[in-house]
Structures are given as C-alpha cells and as structure tokens.
Amino acid sequence: MSRADRIAAVAIVAMLVLQLAWRLWLAPPTQAAPWAMALFFSLPILPAVLLLALRHRRAGFWGSLAALLYFCHGVMLAWSEPSVRGLALAETLVASVLVVSASWDGLRARAAARRARPPAV
C-alpha cells in the first residue's frame, strides 16, 4: 500500500467520522431525527468504508467518487450557511484530500510514462 493509498484510507474514515459527528453531535438537525440524517449523509461513503475494511484496492476510487458529492455539499453550505461554515470547510478539505490522494499514484505513473517516452520528431 503506497503512501497515497494510506492517506486516502485515512480520509475515507475521516469523512465517515465527520458526517456522523456533524449530524449527531456537533450540529444536529432540528427538523429531522439526527440519526436519520447521520445515516443519510453517511450513505455515499459507506461502500468505500466497506471496501477499505475488505482491503480492496478500489476503496480509494469509490471514496473519491463519493467525495465529489461531499465537496459540492461543503462548498454550498460554506457559501450559504454561516452557522456551519467551519464544518462545511472541513468537509470540503477532507473531500479534496481524498480525491487527490486517490488519484496520486495514477497521475505519477502517467507523468513517468510521459517522461520515459522518446521525443516526437
């Protein structure tokens, strides 16, 4: 497991913990059951958590796919809801780290292949 894979695994777990803590403890919703909202907002990252528990190599891919949703949600809330701006920015940061770390090995391999290719004439 590369360093980028380990960072992605930590970010997947951090995203799940953030979603649960946000909805259950830090800023629970007032118009819905906190446990229902925690479950609803944790659903996108759960496949990645399951794959991570099974040590599947695609956990980072599925986590970064879910992170795109969390990134959009975090940006929207940071812009429109001042009371949870810190949590929204944390969600955006964790999502960004997850996407970059899950993509890092592929980006590095592509750059190495490009450098190894002879120049075109």
pLDDT tens across 4-31, in order?
999 999 999 999 999 999 999 999 999 9
C-alpha to C-alpha distance for 74 and 15, rounded to whole angstroms: 12
Q: Can you give the pLDDT at residue 118?
A: 80
Orientation angle between helical segments 85-116 and 59-80, nearest 10 degrees: 140
CB 41 within 8 A of CB 23: yes
Confidence bin at 1 (pLDDT 50/70/90): confident
Instruction: Evaluate whether 70 touches 95 at the Cβ level (below 8 Å).
Output: yes
Evaluate if pTM is beyond 0.75.
yes
Who's near 22: CB < 8 A, 6+ residues apart? 38, 41, 84, 87, 91
Q: Name the DSSP letter for residue 91.
A: H
